[in-house]
Amino acid sequence: MKKLFSILLLMLLLIPFTTALAWEPGFQTHDYYVVYDGEGEAAVLAQITLDNYDDNLDTIEFEIPGQDFRIISVVQKYSIEDEGEDYWYYDWDFANVDYEIEELSESILMTLNIPEEDQESIYLYIYYKSESYAEQRGDVFNFDFESIMSESDIHSMSVSVDVVEDLYLQGGSTETDYRSNLAAGTFDISEEMAYAPYMKNSNFIESTGALDPHESFHVTGKYANSWFAINWWKVILGIFFVGAVLLAAVYGIKTGIKEKKMKKSVLFGSIFGLVLSLLWLVVAYLLTNLHNLIGYRYDDIFALFFVLITILISLLLLAIPPILIGMKYGFKQGIWCLISLIITLTILLVIGAILFTMLFSSQPVFATAIAEAVAI
C-alpha cells in the first residue's frame, strides 16, 4: 500500500513538468520553397509555424546559415474575428514583421518582433535570397541548401527545390508556378514577395522531423542549363554498352549459324527488332515529355495519337519481315525471323529500360509511359 501511494505521489509531482514539456512555447514546423536561377542564386520562401498557447511569444530568434543574404520581406499571417448579424467567422490578415540582424562568421542571427502576439499559432513567412547555397563547376551547379536553425525543437520540416524555367534539375522535370500574391494589397511588401516562387508540382521534395534546437537540415543536388550537361557521361556509357551488345550479337550470328538462309533470316529479324525497340523507346520518351514540348492543353490528344500510331507501326514491323522472309526462303525461315525479332526486341527493351532508369533516376520513362498509355 505504501509503495502504491509513493508511485501515485510521484506521478502527481511529475504532472506539471510533463505538461510544461508538452506545451512548450515555440514548438515549430518549417516548410521551404527554394528556386535556383542560372547564376546560382537561391530564392527561399520559408513558412514557419510556431505554437503560442500562452500568448506570450513576442520575440524569437532564428539563425540562417550561409552568406551574402538579401532579406526581401518578413511577414506574419494572423487570424481576425469578424462578426456578422447572425454569425461570426475568422478571417486572415497580414502584418510586416520588424527584425534585427547580427552577422556571424558563416550565418546571420535574425531577431523577430512578433506584431500580433495574441495568437495560438504564429505563422511567419521569411523571403530571402542568397548565392551561398550553390557552387558552379563547369556547366553544372552543385547546390547544398541548409535550413534555418531555431532555439526550439522542430517537429517537422519539408524542403521543395526547383529551378527557373530554362534550367534542368537533376531528379525530375521542373515546372515553376509563381504565387500571384501572398497577401494581395493588405500590407506594404516588395514585388519580389508578391511573386515568391511556389513549386506546385516540384518533384524534388525532401522532409525530416524531430530536429533538436540549433540543428539544421541539408538538401543537396545538381542543376544545369540542359539535361545533357549533367548526364553526358551516362549517355556515352550507354552508347558503348549498346554498341558492344549489338557487335556481340552480330558476331554470334555470323559464327554460330552455318546455314546461309537461316543466318539471313535471323539477321533480318534482329535488325527489325532493333528498329522496333528504338521506336518504342523514342515514343516512351515523348509521352513523358509532351507537356514540356507542346503544353498541357493538347498533350492528351497527342499522346493518344502517338500510342495509336505506335501500335499500328509495331504490328506492321512484327508481321512484314517474317512474311517476306517466309515467302522468299520458306515457312521455317519466316518463323526463325520472327523468333529473332522478338528476342532482339525483348533484350534491347530490357537494356533500354535499365539505361533510361539510370538517366532519368527519379522518373523512369518506361513506367511513366506505360501508366500514361493505360490511362488513355
Task: Please write the tens of the pLDDT for every residue from 303-349.
Answer: 888 889 888 988 888 888 888 888 888 888 888 888 888 888 888 88
State the burial class of residue 347 (Cβ atoms within 10 Å of its Cβ: 0-12, 13-18, 19+).
middle
Q: What is the pLDDT of residue 47?
A: 93
- When the pLDDT of each residue in the chain is averaged and rounded to a whole number, the result is 75
Domains of the chain: 24-225 (2.60.40), 229-375 (no CATH)
Q: Is the pLDDT of residue 12 over 80?
A: no
Task: Please write the tens of the pLDDT for every residue from 43-52.
Answer: 999 999 988 7
* Residue appearing with cell numbers 518533384: 203
Cβ 214 vs Cβ 151: under 8 Å: yes
Cβ 115 vs Cβ 187: under 8 Å: no
Q: What is the pLDDT of residue 370?
A: 33
CA dist 33 and 157 (Å) reads: 11
**Rounded average pLDDT over 232-251:** 75
Q: What is the pLDDT of residue 344?
A: 84
Query: Which amino acid would we find at residue 41?
Result: E
Query: Which amino acid would we find at residue 89?
Result: Y
Q: What are phi and psi of 56, to 5 degrees?
A: -120, 15
Q: What is the pLDDT of residue 330?
A: 87
CA dist 223 and 170 (Å) reads: 6
Task: Please write the tens of the pLDDT for every residue from 123-148.
Answer: 999 999 999 899 888 889 999 999 99
For β-strands 154-163 and 28-36, DSSP reports them as: parallel
Cβ contacts of 207 within 8 Å, gap of 6 or more: 156, 157, 158, 159
Give the start-end residues of each E strand in the chain: 28-36, 42-51, 59-65, 69-83, 88-96, 98-103, 107-113, 121-130, 134-137, 140-146, 149-150, 154-163, 168-169, 177-178, 197-198, 204-211, 218-224
Task: Please write the tens of the pLDDT for every residue from 249-299.
Answer: 777 777 767 777 888 888 888 888 888 888 887 888 788 777 666 766 777
Task: Please write the tens of the pLDDT for every residue from 26-37.
Answer: 578 999 999 999
Cβ 28 vs Cβ 152: under 8 Å: yes
Percentage of the chain beyond pLDDT 70 is 73
pTM to 2 decimal places: 0.61
CA dist 334 and 323 (Å) reads: 6
